[in-house]
Structure 1
Amino acid sequence: MAPGGSACKEVLESHLIFSDYDTAKSKSEANSNINITKSSPVSGGKHGTNSKNGVNDLLECPICNNLMYPPIHQCPNGHTLCSDCKVRVHNSCPTCRYDLGNIRCLALEKVAESLELPCRYQNLGCHDIFPYYTKLKHEQNCRFRPYNCPYAGSECSVMGDIPTLVTHLKEDHKVDMHEGCTFNHRYVKSNPHEVENATWMLTVFNCFGRHFCLHFEAFQLGLAPVYMAFLRFMGDDSEAKKFTYSLEVGANGRKLIWQGIPRSIRDTHRKVRDSQDGLIIQRNLALYFSGGDAQELKLRITGRIWKED
């Protein structure tokens, strides 16, 4: 792990670890490590309490416990389940074992239209109420929904708000935490010909009161081995667009410069990497920057983050 210190003044040694680049998909959000935060209402829904007509429980699928949306299926005895679980149980009612057939519970679907329910992230600060059939769409984009851990060096299923994840990254992943909006990193690898599934230790910067994740890694782009550096913003995309960052690498009178907008951690690490939205260095050029002897990779990457007015 790189030593601590000021991101602006000290050169940081980043050591290599191995990863499959996938941040593991989360377990159910009910079991996640999530902080509860106070907030203001979101647009698109009512602010208040949900309908209390006793029908809510009937709309829970008895298998997955999620709310059911059309088509809602039922067996000849009236037991209901969602369309996804109908496939899982191989068309056999899990309650009475009768064949399900293709019977729709149209009455329950109609009743659902009259319901108003709270967002599932109510305990995280979203206090708005939504019509039954718009609730799911809202939840897919609710600004209070938790974030996945942005660490890419190992599979991690932790979810939470930004303060939770910052603490988690520091205490559980032992990442480097630095203050300031400029950085000067030196990346070293003893065998530069090994590039597959390799990533360097994540660094997190506290800048303008927000947190940014600096990634650097090696992988195969088609048949070409490359190195890539990019920045991710710990927050939503709408906020990420308020910032710009630059990266620079070079030696021997030559340099590469990248300027872009940090990607939100709503986008997975692999999605950003595969989109090639960052500074990409071909291995031959990286070795030239390292001294040209092809014996060891030594790259110095400098950069800064600034806020657009």
Structure 2
Amino acid sequence: MLSSPVYECSSGHVTCARCYGESADNACSYCDVTGCTRSRAVEEFLYGISFSCRNQQYGCNAFLLHDQMRAHEQSCHHDPCFCPVPRCGFAGQTYELESHLATLHRWDVVKFRYGESFEVPVHKPAVFCCEDYGELFHIVSSREGYGTALSMICIRPDNACKEEFMYELKIPAGGRHRLQMQSTVWNTSLRYGIGEGSDVFLLVPDKLPGNESGSVVEVCINKAAASEASY
């Protein structure tokens, strides 16, 4: 989609500003002729072309001019989330992804409310769905040294309004003691897979007294107030 000036060389080849700028001597990306000039006529022609929304395959029927389409895609309700299961390829809206994970991949669906603690499995695939707002969360777990590294993600469309979430892990630590840790939640549509994202995680030590199996942790997710959220 056009988003930058267009250049034309003496041979009549047209190139975008990005390709033109990547050349060390600003030569045409097709024939290497130098001295390209900006083509206003071609720009006006291209800006008059209508485009289909990038979410067409997910149900959006919008067909708009370039400048209108950019604004539309920033709020398109068909912007998808992607399945975290490797090589699955499913994409859809949040409620569709929840159903997909539960029915096809047999993931547990844990309902919760912000500010209230709930138990989640560490080694069993699960997705956490907020009862009030429908946001989906998932804990990514992996081995890290002498413990299990846990990272909480919120699965939401790329164009969703950015919000800050915090989560706490509470783990028995023998007797009346418990280990409590807090971190931020990483927002992602998973467009590029589960491995792409933040390196921030909370480490649960192996064989923690009172939680030797390490299979379940207590979680509390908090949503920042509107005045505190980052937009």
Aligned to 2:137: 213
| Partner of residue 82 from structure 1, selected from 13, 16, 30 | 16
Cα 1:209–1:135 change in 2 (3 A) is closer
Partner residue, 1:264: 187
Shift of 1:207: 1.7
Structure-1 residue corresponding to 2:208 = 288
Aligned counterpart, 1:183:
118
Q: 1:215, 1:238 → 2: CA distance?
A: 21
CA 1:299–1:75: 2 relative to 1, 3 Å: same
Structure 2 partner of 1:22: none
One-letter code of the match for 1:81? T
300, 304, 308: which one pairs with 2:216?
300
**Partner-residue secondary structure (3-state), 1:164:** helix
Alpha-carbon separation, structure 1, partners of 2:90 and 2:199? 23
Match of 1:161 among 93, 114, 126: 93
Q: Structure 1: 5+ residue runs without aligned partners?
A: 1-65, 189-199
Which of the pair is proportionally richer in helix? 1
> Which AA in structure 1 matches 2:156?
M
Within-5 A mapping of 1:87-126: 93=30, 98-108=31-41, 111=44, 120=53
Q: How many positions carry a matched residue from both structures?
A: 212
Q: Judging changes above 3 Å, is the alpha-carbon distance between structure 1 residues 74 and 162 closer, same or farther for their aligned structure 2 residues? A: same
Larger RCO of the pair (alpha carbons < 8 Å, separation 6+): 1
Deviation, structure 1 residue 215:
0.8
Q: Report the secondary structure of 1:210's partner residue.
A: coil
Instruction: Give the secondary-structure state (helix, strand or coil) at the position aligned to 1:163.
Output: helix
Report the alpha carbon displacement of residue 149 of structure 1 after superposing the two structures with TM.
1.1
Q: 1:301 deviation in Å?
A: 0.5
Instruction: Name the CA shift for 1:237/1:290 in 2 (closer, same or farther; >3 Å).
Output: farther
The whole-number CA distance in structure 2 between the counterparts of 1:167 and 1:261 is 26
In structure 1, distance between residues paired with 2:81 and 2:2 = 23
Instruction: Give the 3 Å change call, closer, same or farther, for CA 272–224 of structure 1 in structure 2.
Output: farther
Identity among equivalent positions (%) equals 13
In structure 1, the partner of 2:200 is: 275
The structure-2 alpha-carbon separation of the partners of 1:261 and 1:108, relative to structure 1 and needing over 3 Å to count, comes to same
Closer/same/farther in 2, CA of residues 261 and 288 from structure 1, 3 Å limit: closer
- Distance, in Å, in 2 between the alignment partners of 1:80 and 1:273 is 39
Which residue identity does 2:179 align to in structure 1?
L
How far did residue 80 of structure 1 move? 1.9
Q: TM-score of the superposition, structure 2-length normalised?
A: 0.62
Q: Name the aligned partner's letter for residue 95 of structure 2.
A: P
Taking a change above 3 Å as real, the CA distance of residues 80 and 298 of structure 1, as seen in their structure-2 partners, is: same
Flag the 1:126–1:249 CA change in 2: closer, same or farther, 3 A. Answer: farther
1:224 to 1:142, Cα distance in 2 relative to 1, 3 A: farther
Which deviates more from structure 2 when the two are superposed, residues 139-148 or residues 158-167? Answer: 139-148
Q: Describe the SS at the equivalent of 2:4.
A: coil
Cα separation, 1, equivalents of 2:102 and 2:122: 20
What is the alpha-carbon distance in structure 1 between the residues aligned to residue 163 and residue 83 of structure 2? 15
Which residue does 1:48 correspond to in 2?
A: none
Aligned CA distance change for structure 1 residues 160 and 73 (closer, same or farther; 3 Å): farther
Asked whether the 8 Å contact 1:250–1:300 carries over to 2, the reply is no
Secondary structure, counterpart of 2:135 in structure 1:
strand
Query: Residue 81 and residue 230 in structure 1: after superposition, are their counterparts in 2 closer, same or farther (change >3 A)?
Result: same
CA distance in 1, matches of 2:17, 2:224: 47
